[in-house]
Amino acid sequence: MAGRRNCARATGRQSGCYPTAALLALLPLASIGAPRQIVVDAKSGITGAGRTPQAGSLFAEVSGEIRAYGLSGHRHQPEMERYLRAGGIGAGVTFTPHVVPISRGMLADAYAVFDEPVDGGAVEAASRMPMRTARSFRVLTGARAPSVAAVVEPTTRRFASTVAGPVVRVICAIDNLARVLPDRPCRTSTSCWDFPKRAD
């Protein structure tokens, strides 16, 4: 619990959408053990590329393809790693962001690699932790997978997890333009995992 309290204190205001999706997917896994490696493969609509106009983020340039970017070090990766460490997950992170030809929304495939096989029931229980206090969270089961289109109206966050031996995959879909949580990682963490709220 001390590590989770530190996570709440460490998070900053107006944090990025990529860390938000990754944290929502990965932080609950701290309750089942310490992964040795984290891989985050995330796709964002063009609105996730930032507000500064650039030729590469124009819809006409992106339409018809999917491209990876920020491979030499995305600006949100240190933020993501800092929050994970504060939440009790100190594993190294391999992060690959992609821009896709949609106007809004984000889909993150997060993989946590443990040293030993992981119990699927424990992962499902951990994934359902946010649902205890936040009605906007939906955990999908069976063959269903999160969809970006499904999280826009009304605004929800959708998750699905699978386990293959020591590898846990959590897929998270969020609406990156939703402003219901202005300080997204901090507010989401405090409301869903009982982290103390920041006073400032």
The helix (H) or strand (E) run that includes residue 160 is strand 157-164
Catalytic position from the list 7, 17, 172, 186: 17
At what angle are helices 77-86 and 17-26 packed, to 10 degrees? Answer: 30
Residue 86 has, within 13 A of its CA and on its CB side, a CA count of: 19
For 53, the token pair is 């106009």
In whole angstroms, give the CA distance from residue 99 to residue 46. 6
145: exposed, middle or buried (Cβ count in 10 Å: 0-12, 13-18, 19+)? middle
Answer yes or no: 17 catalytic.
yes
The secondary structure of residue 189, as a DSSP letter, is H
Nearest Cα residue to 24 out of 164, 199, 196, 156? 156
In whole angstroms, give the CA distance from residue 153 to residue 30. 30
In whole angstroms, give the CA distance from residue 146 to residue 177. 17
Around Cβ 50, how many Cβ atoms within 10 Å? 11
Q: Which residues are catalytic?
A: 17
